[in-house]
Amino acid sequence: MKYAALILMCSFSCSAFAKGDYKSHCFTQPCFIEGDFDGDGMKDRAELVEADHKKGIEFTLHSGKTVVVGAGNKIGKGREDFLWMDKWELHKKETKIEKPNKKAAKPPTPKGDSLLVAQEWKSSAIIYWNGKKFDWYQLEN
């Protein structure tokens, strides 16, 4: 009976991993970051994951909603593997996103905290919640 309860419990709490076969994979530090990504005032979590040898980030919102970017799921201009990423950090909502150059699109206004993802000395971007989904704003190439 104990095992049946454990299996039933896992079928509800592990469903995001079963669908895409996402596994925690700490390919850079830190392994996870907490912040209020959807702007609801509650703590959410972003964790580094991997599926089919593709790296990505799994967002677990306080509401229970789970969203994976990268790891086979496209975000921005077709990015589906974050193998290149060697740095990431929390970008607080209060911190203005600067336009990287005159030709760049207008910076977004995220609903909550964002993530700065980067390949050190090469490229960087902001991953943010736009109110409906996670989106991508390129900072440098």
Q: Is the pLDDT of residue 88 over 60?
A: yes
Longest dimension (CA), the chain: 64
- The tens digit of pLDDT for each residue in 107-122 reads 999 999 999 999 988 8
Contacts of 127 (CB under 8 A, 6+ apart): 57, 69, 75, 114, 115, 117, 134, 135, 136
Q: Quote the pTM value.
A: 0.82
- Residue 121 DSSP one-character state: T
**Alpha carbon distances (Å) from 122 to 23, 48, 75:** 27, 20, 19
Domain boundary assignment for the chain: 23-140
Q: What is the rounded CA–CA span in Å between residue 133 and residue 8? A: 29
Going by pLDDT thresholds of 50, 70 and 90, the confidence category of residue 130 is very high
